[in-house]
């Protein structure tokens, strides 16, 4: 490509200092405009990000609090469950001890009742035996006296001959 001599003459002759060029001032105006717009926009962006970061931090704190509360509640329920299990064990042990005591008391009561019944039975047998002995003695006396009475009746009764 070739540059024409007319273009080369006009391009080189019109050059002056750089600040006299309109492109330079356009660049300066653009930089100032971007600087003026960028500063408030940057503040809004950073404020929005800071607000979002604060919201996230608050949510994290709330989540941490909820987690701690959940752990405390879980620990409380686990403690209550352990206490309930211990209480159930104690109730079972107490019930077993009470059942053993009641069984022993019932066995003792039964043994005492059987002893009383046995004593009453032995007493009744002794009384029946004494009555039987008395009856036998009375019968023996009656039988012993019977021949005597028969002999007396036989001598004192008139004899009838036919």
**Count, residues in the chain:** 162
Judge whether residue 9 has pLDDT over 70. no
Other C-beta atoms within 10 Å of 21: how many?
13
pLDDT band for position 77 (cuts 50, 70, 90): very high
Answer whether 0.75 is exceeded by the pTM: no
Asked whether the beta carbons of 47 and 53 are under 8 A apart, the reply is no
d(CA 93, CA 105): 18
pLDDT tens by residue, 85-97: 999 999 999 999 9
Q: How far is CA 86 from CA 73, 93, 126, in A?
A: 20, 10, 59
Asked whether the beta carbons of 20 and 14 are under 8 A apart, the reply is no
Percent of the chain with pLDDT over 70: 81
pLDDT band for position 142 (cuts 50, 70, 90): confident
- Residue 7 is predicted with a pLDDT of 55
pLDDT tens by residue, 18-74: 888 999 999 999 999 998 888 888 888 899 999 999 999 999 999 999 999 999 999
Kindly report the average pLDDT of the chain as a whole number.
86
Query: How far does Cα 155 stand from its chain's mean position?
Result: 106
With tokens 């909820």, the residue in question is 66
Judge whether residue 135 has pLDDT over 70. yes
Q: Give the mean pLDDT of 73-79.
A: 95
Termini Cα distance of the chain? 205
Judge whether residue 2 has pLDDT over 60. no
Judge whether residue 157 has pLDDT over 80. no
pLDDT tens by residue, 110-129: 999 999 999 999 999 999 99
């Amino acid at each position: 490509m070739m540059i024409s001599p007319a273009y080369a003459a006009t391009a080189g002759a019109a050059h002056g200092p750089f600040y006299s060029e309109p492109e330079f001032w356009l660049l300066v105006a653009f930089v100032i405009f971007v600087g003026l717009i960028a500063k408030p926009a940057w503040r809004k962006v950073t404020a929005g990000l800071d607000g979002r970061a604060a919201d996230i931090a608050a949510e994290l704190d709330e989540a941490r609090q909820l987690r701690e509360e959940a752990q405390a509640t879980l620990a409380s329920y686990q403690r209550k469950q352990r206490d309930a299990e211990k209480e159930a064990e104690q109730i079972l042990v107490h019930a077993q001890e009470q059942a053993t005591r009641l069984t022993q008391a019932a066995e003792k009561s039964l043994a005492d009742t059987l002893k009383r019944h046995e004593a009453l039975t032995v007493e009744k047998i002794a009384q029946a035996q004494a009555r039987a002995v008395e009856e036998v003695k009375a019968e023996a006396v009656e039988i012993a006296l019977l021949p005597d009475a028969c002999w007396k009746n036989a001598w004192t009764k008139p004899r009838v001959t036919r």
